[in-house]
Amino acid sequence: MSAMRSIDIDFEVHKLLEANRNSFSELPNDVLRRLLGIGETPLKVVQPEGKPYVYEGVQLPHGTEAIFTYNNVQYKARIEDGFWITEDGARHKSPSGAASALAVTKSGSKTKLDGWSYWYVRKPGSEDWVFLNDLWHAKTASKKWQD
């Protein structure tokens, strides 16, 4: 296999790549190979580990997937280097910031959401989705017992 190279792409190409991903774990290179009909990557490229998202005892590893539904629309994000990266590629510091940036009311306007009360997360290697608020309560409850 030849060495991996970086290329610059514009936002429209990025959106097309994201729209054609089968999952958050599918790398952009794999999407392009599939769309171009040149088969799977001969040697799987391992993404480097990134920083987890950490807030008051709740830790979500790099690569954690996140979903929530608002007004019958499902939204997605992923933890990358400690940030919430939403479907549009935007970077957010918190689950609330990410949820509020995506959610639209029935009238079409933006709204403020408490992301802890909306997101479900799935850590890398897990098949289970966990309600983010449950992680928060589990950490704060165990902290109270330790104090």
Output the pTM of the full model: 0.64
pLDDT, averaged across the chain: 83
Distance CA 66, CA 140 (A): 21
How many separate domains does the chain show?
A: 2
Could you tell me if 66 and 31 lie in one domain? no
- DSSP per-residue string spanning 79-100: EETTEEEETTS-EESSHHHHHH
Same domain, 119 and 71: yes
Residue 45: the pLDDT is 42
For the chain, percent helix, then strand, then coil, each to nearest 5? 30, 20, 50
- Per-residue confidence band for 136, with pLDDT thresholds at 50, 70 and 90: confident
- 127 and 86 in a single domain? The answer is yes
Looking at the structure, tell me whether residues 2 and 74 fall in a common domain.
no
Of the ranges 31-40, 64-73, 107-116, which one carries the lowest mean pLDDT score?
Answer: 31-40
pLDDT tens track for 21-67: 877 667 777 888 888 888 766 544 445 578 999 998 899 999 999 99
| Cα 69 off chain centre by | 14
So what's the pLDDT on residue 30? 80
- Supply the Cα-derived Rg of the chain in whole angstroms: 17
Among 2-6, 63-67, 82-86, the range scoring the smallest mean pLDDT is 2-6
- Work out whether the CA dihedral 93, 77, 34, 15 comes out positive or negative: negative
Q: Are 35 and 73 found together in one domain?
A: no
Check residue 145 and give its pLDDT: 40
Residues 68 and 43 in one domain: no
Residue 20 shares a structural domain with residue 87: no
* 61 and 42 within one domain: no
Residue 60 pLDDT: 93
Beta bridge partners of 110: 104
- Based on the fold, state whether residues 64 and 16 are members of the same structural domain: no
pLDDT for residue 133: 92
- Do residues 34 and 82 both lie within one domain? no
Please indicate, yes or no, whether residues 77 and 136 belong to a single structural domain of this protein: yes
Phi, psi at residue 122, to the nearest 5°? Answer: -135, 115
Q: Which residues partner with 120 through β-bridges?
A: 67, 131
Same domain, 61 and 40: no
Identify the domain containing residue 88 by its residue range: 53-146
Structure tokens at 65: 């997937």
Q: Which of 22-26, 72-76, 78-82 has the lowest mean pLDDT?
A: 22-26
